[in-house]
């Protein structure tokens, strides 16, 4: 049993190893699938976030365009209103212009300055309005600051270099120009620029205002606005930057990746379970097939077994015959004691014959051997007791070497007795005619079990027959059946043991049996 349990241990170990490797394999497979799916999902998520970011940018650009258009229209309206008041005020500084200007500057903080220019032969007189201290007049020599406006009503816009502002000039009447100065930062509400945005406002390729994010980003999108106002042809660029955290927000990415890990693991486990189920089914089908074949083998061996039964029963029947004859003689002689002995022997032989038949039936039907733990020395003594009378009668000496303390072994007692009986009887056959016929029966403990040797000092197994003696019906005896050894071999195999033979000053047969789990 030790060998079996060792084998079982190996099988268990290799099964565990296989499972471990399988599981490792599944883990690696799940990890690869998970990484691939997660990467694709993260990319898809980033694409989705980018798309919504671009949409947001586009919405913001159109809102900004609407707001700008509204404000530019207001500037045109202020120019018209102020122009009308200027025309009605031939003398300057004019309180009417000052009043309206104060009003405009207060209500529209992005308009930072209002001024009029009266042109006069290469010079101009500038009057600034709307300041708290009142209108302020100033003479100017250089007129390059003023645009050339030829027709009354003409408007021109010009960037004020270095001041984030632009001027709007209008020729309100010949020789009189009105100017509005607009703060570009205030026009854009630059301080309200969201964190990820940056804006750039230009007028005739001059940058008026720059706002917003300066940090680097892995991705950006830009929207351009070109104002259709013919008086203030402003252009604007709105840029939206995308950081990694924005494209792949952790609050979405972590549950997504974790969810994908769980789904992948479940899918791979399910696949593995299905594969394992298919393997089990295949194994079960194979086992069934093997069992069918084994049964067929046993049925085929039926003829062989029938001969075996006859062979095995020959001994007890012969013994019963001679004991019965002895009993009859004892009866005639009135020897009660011999009669009783003979009848006891008959009962014993009849029981043995019954046991042999029972085992044969069990063997043919595939029933398991009746394995029990039996002390080896007891099993050997019992087997020898059954045969020793016959051996002694043939004048053969038996040398028993059975040390004390041999372990119990898992055997089918009747089968074991049959095997010992076959081997000893063969040995007795072999030594018949020898000068000092001797059979040695030795039992010993070995590393993984026990060995029982049945040796004789006969001529040994014929050269060339050694490999055939376990074949059914192989015999070199005139009255032999050639079934004793094949049957013995089978019976020993059913006890997980083995039977082998070799020549060594005669023939030696070795039965090897494993130790039981409890030995």
Question: By the criterion CB under 6 A, which residues form the site for ligand ADP?
Answer: 422, 426-427, 430, 456, 458, 460-461, 465, 469, 474-477, 480-485, 507
Question: Judged by CB, which is closer to ligand ADP: 234, or 430?
Answer: 430
Q: Work out the angle at residue 149's Cα, subtended by the Cα atoms of residues 88 and 181, and round it to the nearest 5 degrees.
A: 70
Question: Judged by CB, which is closer to ligand ADP: 503, or 519?
Answer: 503
**Closest distance to ligand ADP from the beta carbon of 460 (Å):** 6
The closest residue (CB) to ligand ADP is 484
Is residue 325 classed exposed, middle or buried when 0-12, 13-18 and 19+ CB atoms within 10 A define those classes? exposed
Question: In a 3-state reduction of DSSP, which class is residue 133?
Answer: coil
**Closest distance to ligand ADP from the beta carbon of 279 (Å):** 42
Question: Judged by CB, which is closer to ligand ADP: 244, or 310?
Answer: 310
**Closest distance to ligand ADP from the beta carbon of 487 (Å):** 8
Which among 450, 443, 453 is positioned nearest to 496, based on CA atoms?
450
**Which is it for strands 397-401 and 438-445: parallel, antiparallel or unpaired?**
parallel
**Closest distance to ligand ADP from the beta carbon of 17 (Å):** 43
Distance CA 489, CA 369 (A): 14
Contact 366, 298 (CB under 8 A): yes
**Closest distance to ligand ADP from the beta carbon of 503 (Å):** 8
| Contacts of range 41-48, beta carbons closer than 8 Å, 24 or more positions apart | 41/256, 41/257, 41/260, 42/248, 42/253, 42/256, 42/257, 45/247, 45/248, 45/249, 45/252, 45/253, 45/256, 46/247, 46/248
Question: Judged by CB, which is closer to ligand ADP: 110, or 421?
Answer: 421
Q: How far from 437 is each of 128, 262, 288, CA to CA, in Å?
A: 150, 80, 50
Question: Judged by CB, which is closer to ligand ADP: 351, or 394?
Answer: 394
Distance CA 113, CA 183 (A): 9
Contact 122, 136 (CB under 8 A): no
Question: Judged by CB, which is closer to ligand ADP: 391, or 430?
Answer: 430
Question: Judged by CB, which is closer to ligand ADP: 155, or 428?
Answer: 428
**Closest distance to ligand ADP from the beta carbon of 428 (Å):** 8
Question: Judged by CB, which is closer to ligand ADP: 356, or 469?
Answer: 469
**Closest distance to ligand ADP from the beta carbon of 418 (Å):** 11
**Closest distance to ligand ADP from the beta carbon of 508 (Å):** 8
């Amino acid at each position: 049993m030790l060998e079996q349990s060792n084998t079982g241990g190996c099988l268990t170990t290799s099964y565990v190893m296989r499972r471990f490797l399988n599981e490792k394999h599944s883990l690696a497979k799940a990890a690869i699938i998970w990484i691939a799916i997660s990467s694709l999902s993260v990319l898809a998520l980033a694409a989705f976030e980018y798309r919504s970011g671009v949409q947001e940018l586009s919405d913001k650009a159109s809102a900004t365009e609407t707001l700008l258009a509204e404000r530019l229209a207001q500037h045109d309206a202020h120019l018209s209103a102020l122009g009308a008041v200027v025309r009605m005020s031939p003398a300057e500084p004019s309180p009417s212009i000052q009043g309206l200007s104060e009003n405009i500057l207060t209500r529209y903080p992005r308009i930072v300055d209002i001024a009029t220019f009266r042109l006069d032969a290469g010079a101009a007189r500038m009057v600034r309005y709307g300041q708290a201290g009142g209108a302020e007049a100033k003479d100017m020599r250089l007129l390059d600051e003023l645009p050339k406006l030829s027709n009354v009503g003409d408007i021109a816009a010009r960037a004020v270099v270095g001041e984030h502002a632009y001027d709007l000039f209008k020729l309100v009447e010949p020789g009189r120009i009105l100017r509005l100065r607009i703060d570009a930062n205030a026009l854009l509400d630059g301080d309200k620029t969201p964190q990820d945005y940056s804006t750039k406002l230009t007028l005739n390729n001059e940058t008026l205002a720059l706002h917003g994010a300066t940090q680097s980003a892995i991705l950006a999108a830009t929207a351009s606005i070109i104002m259709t106002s013919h008086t203030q042809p402003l252009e604007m660029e709105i840029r939206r930057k995308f950081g990694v955290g924005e494209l792949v927000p952790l609050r979405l990415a972590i549950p997504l990746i974790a969810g994908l890990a769980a789904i992948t693991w479940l899918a791979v486990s399910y696949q593995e379970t299905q594969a394992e189920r298919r393997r089990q089914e295949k194994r079960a089908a194979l086992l069934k097939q093997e069992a069918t074949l084994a049964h067929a083998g046993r049925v085929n061996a039926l003829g062989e077994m029938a001969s075996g039964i006859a062979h095995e029963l020959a001994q007890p029947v012969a013994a019963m015959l001679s004991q019965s004859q002895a009993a009859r003689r004892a009866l005639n002689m009135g020897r009660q004691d011999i009669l009783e002995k003979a009848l006891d022997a008959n009962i014993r032989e009849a029981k043995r014959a019954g046991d042999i038949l029972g085992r044969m039936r069990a063997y043919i039907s595939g029933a398991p051997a009746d394995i029990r733990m039996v002390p080896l020395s007891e099993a050997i003594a019992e087997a020898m007791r059954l045969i020793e009378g016959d051996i002694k009668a043939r004048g053969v000496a038996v040398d028993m070497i059975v040390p004390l303390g041999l372990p119990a072994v898992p055997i089918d007692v009747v089968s074991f007795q049959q095997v010992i009986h076959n081997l000893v009887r063969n040995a007795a056959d072999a030594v018949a005619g020898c000068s000092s016929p001797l059979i040695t029966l030795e039992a010993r403990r070995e590393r993984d079990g026990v060995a029982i040797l049945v040796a004789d000092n006969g001529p040994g197994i014929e050269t060339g027959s050694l490999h055939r003696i376990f074949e059914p019906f192989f015999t070199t005896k005139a009255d032999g059946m050639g079934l004793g050894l094949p049957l013995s071999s089978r019976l020993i195999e059913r006890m997980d043991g083995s039977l082998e033979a070799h020549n060594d000053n005669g023939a030696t047969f070795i039965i090897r049996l494993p130790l039981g789990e409890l030995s």
